[in-house]
Structure 1
């Protein structure tokens, strides 16, 4: 009996031990699951915290970038405002008559004319002054005016639209290609776009200037014109709608800056210099041109508004002045012309014309010049010679003072249609007065155009010409 009781107790103890073992195993498994869950929660919380930290850092970087961008915008705006203030101050000073301006002239480097260039320019002059040259043996059509060598920069509109223009004392209007011009010449040059300018004012009046091959046609408009740092508001100019033929196709300028008197202005448009004077944009109602000679330099001198101080170019401010005889072109009395010691002309009317490179003389004077220098005259109104030929100096007497141009400067190199380079006299033939003094003369003498006193002044230039 006792043995049975002991066996029963042993079985009960074994069952208790096995039960406790199962309970411990189940608890251990539950603990591991709980630990895994807690670990998962911790991992999720860590990921969330890390994501938040990254987002915060990214947000900080974004804020820094935005702040930097704002600072940069502020700097740019301040720079623009400062520039506008400086510009406004400059323009205000200009309007108060406290300044003058110097505009560099650009020069067509190493320029050599062709026979077509030469005859084109003569046809251009004939249409301008209403006379005819001797009939040429070659083509009579205008092919090229690129031999008008000196150009300058001008801006029209707000914001600025930049143009290269020919400063021309032989005309009085400003014109540039307009947006609707389909001519080949317009396609090859910069166009003025009124829709892009906040200061454009419509005029709409038709405009036309006749040249040898037809009329440059267009419409008038008003806008702000800026040149050499000077500003003229509501300046009337022309936008071309047609530039016929090939007159301006190969030119190195976009348009014309007329510097003559208002009396020859098409549609009686008030000239740029006249507006500068009436609005007190310039100190004195005058301008000056100093041209530099050829060579490889692209700088060709200066166009000076509001001053006759050309000492940087002429070595002094000592000018010989002569009165304007007819207010239209810059016309005056040329008292005498000498070639060497031979007087070839007495008193004649002459015009200073920066829009041409030529010098012209009436037939009688032209023949005398050719006889002295010994060149060979042609039926087309030129006189040919070998480039090595020495010719006498030319003397032009103005207001009692002698202005001498060296003989070798009165020869012009020309390339023939066959590619041969020869020389001709700088003087071409026209039937009658006036004598035209173009760049071949002007480049040796700084010239002042004084509107206030209706006179022209000349001073020798110190430039290499």
Structure 2
């Protein structure tokens, strides 16, 4: 059994040495691809269906396991780290998925073929179809750039704040076979001499800043600043990478480029009333994709407003970070009083090492396989909930499985909850494995996040216990958490324009502020991330 020992934060000198060493390791290891851990164990071969469910764009060895034995620890009850005043959930939103048949065969096929699944959502004003990559590996949208307009398929990332596409001068060798932008194919393209570089944990891009016309969900920004890459690492330039570039949806202060994010520009130009994003991620194994990303408002048809929890952003570094009251397994509280960063650009969930160990100690048959990863039975049907405000949101059991470890789809799978130190031993990173289970609204003006159950998931009050009181679905505006407000949804927020000049980015320009991409790659390298 691996022992997780907490250590004091390193000195600044030690931090820089760790960072340099990590960077050299990551850049030399091509398995750390697209922020994902792809084990040496290949997925089982299944018959390939030539009739794709969606359109195509044209052109590891496991270490010796150590099983958990003995009593299962409950860190919250053992006094690991608790915060007084954390209230028990009053309502649980339950999921309906099942793993009785093990890991999905169609999910394996989608992973093998790199299928892209279009959304069939009825879009509202400001909405984009959220396209699923493979078996929920990533979530992509199409935008238009240049004159005449070209369509770019972009990774939409709430975990970073930089937007970039390949330059036409980059070439196939440096940027791969992706749609590119430059003066030779856009009459409105204007390059600058200002260089930019963004270093992610699993790769990097470098180039120059430019301006051009960008259209997002029918709303056109003229002379909008973005990066055009002159060099991309293999994690982005590979021909098997389906997306052309990346749109940063975090708060602007996280930007390395030092320019306004698209959501900021849409608000400051009056194209949207407020810098609000409404985010609904689809799930491949549901058999349909109703994913949608909305700029400027929330799609009220996609969530149950009676379950909405509004939480204030708790960090000033640009991440969408909020209070997470508790994590429970089968009603047993594993941890409480944590922080959570919500990132659509990361597939998995990353927990601090001690929390990840405690969590998997509650999972029947879980095994620590090293490298920050755990195996769990592919037939797991335990109830996992994460509590925000007064609502406990259950994670669909299908979202607990990352990838099977053998041809036996009812055998062992990699857990979608992994171990890594993001900021400290209180902070979790919640990627798509969690976000598929909620409707998320971000508001850059109010610095709030709202989480709600989706309309196809009904809230069910939990049975009364000594720690929980059953209430009706209507939520009280009185809460014991200072960072949680009532459930009223304000999709217009402040009517005044959001000026990008009010965002202070100067402290981020000369260093690559770490992104969630870095965190996942670092943990897979077996290192801590500070």
Shared fold by TM > 0.5?
yes
Aligned with residue 271 of structure 2, among 255, 258, 281: 281
Match of 2:483 in 1: none
Structure 1 residues 424 and 174 mapped into 2: Cα distance closer, same or farther (>3 Å)? same
Aligned with residue 130 of structure 2, among 97, 105, 113: 105
Match of 2:41 in 1: none
Match of 1:427 in 2: 417
Higher relative contact order (CA 8 A, sep 6+): 2
- Is 2:390 the partner of 1:400? yes
Partner of 1:295, secondary structure, is helix
Q: Structure 2 matches for 1:313-462, cutoff 5 A?
A: 313-316=302-305, 319-327=308-316, 328-374=318-364, 375-390=366-381, 392-406=382-396, 408-416=397-405, 422-431=412-421, 432-462=425-455
Q: Structure 2 matches for 1:247-262, cutoff 5 A?
A: 247-249=236-238, 250-262=240-252
CA distance in 2, matches of 1:346, 1:464: 24
Partner of 2:165, secondary structure, is strand
Instruction: Give the TM-score, by structure 1 length.
Output: 0.66
CA distance in 1, matches of 2:241, 2:174: 8
Q: Structure 2 matches for 1:290-309, cutoff 5 A?
A: 290-295=280-285, 299-308=289-298
Give the conservation status (yes or no) of the 8 Å contact 1:183–1:244. Answer: no
Structure 1 residues 296 and 194 mapped into 2: Cα distance closer, same or farther (>3 Å)? farther
Give the conservation status (yes or no) of the 8 Å contact 2:176–2:237. Answer: no
- Is 2:233 the partner of 1:244? yes
Match of 2:212 in 1: 223
Match of 1:312 in 2: 301
Give the conservation status (yes or no) of the 8 Å contact 1:107–1:300. Answer: no
Q: Residues 397-448 of structure 1: CA distance to partner in whole angstroms, max 9, x if unpaired?
A: 1123222224x234214155x7665422221001334201111111110100
Q: Residues 71-119 of structure 1: CA distance to partner in whole angstroms, max 9, x if unpaired?
A: xxxxxxxxxxxxxxxxxxxxxxxxxxxx94111101135x2xxxxxxxx
Structure 1 residues 400 and 186 mapped into 2: Cα distance closer, same or farther (>3 Å)? same
> 1:246 Cα shift?
4.1
Match of 2:196 in 1: 207
> 1:252 Cα shift?
1.6
CA distance in 2, matches of 1:213, 1:336: 30
Match of 1:46 in 2: none
Q: Residues 169-203 of structure 1: CA distance to partner in whole angstroms, max 9, x if unpaired?
A: 00111111111113546222111132322222222
Structure 1 residues 262 and 296 mapped into 2: Cα distance closer, same or farther (>3 Å)? same
Q: Indicate the RMSD between aligned Cα atoms, in angstroms.
A: 2.3
Give the gaps of 5 or more residues in structure 2: 1-123, 459-530
CA distance in 2, matches of 1:441, 1:280: 33
Partner of 1:319, secondary structure, is strand
Which one has a bigger Cα radius of gyration? 1
Structure 1 residues 152 and 206 mapped into 2: Cα distance closer, same or farther (>3 Å)? same
Give the conservation status (yes or no) of the 8 Å contact 2:175–2:236. Answer: no
Instruction: Report which of the two has the higher share of helix.
Output: 1
Q: Residues 31-78 of structure 1: CA distance to partner in whole angstroms, max 9, x if unpaired?
A: xxxxxxxxxxxxxxxxxxxxxxxxxxxxxxxxxxxxxxxxxxxxxxxx
Give aligned pairs, total.
327
Match of 2:475 in 1: none
Aligned with residue 153 of structure 1, among 122, 127, 142: 142
CA distance in 2, matches of 1:449, 1:102: 15
Structure 1 residues 252 and 341 mapped into 2: Cα distance closer, same or farther (>3 Å)? same
CA distance in 1, matches of 2:153, 2:288: 14
Give the conservation status (yes or no) of the 8 Å contact 1:100–1:282. Answer: no
Give the conservation status (yes or no) of the 8 Å contact 1:311–1:317. Answer: no
Instruction: Give the TM-score, by structure 2 length.
Output: 0.58
CA distance in 1, matches of 2:143, 2:126: 13
> 1:316 Cα shift?
4.1
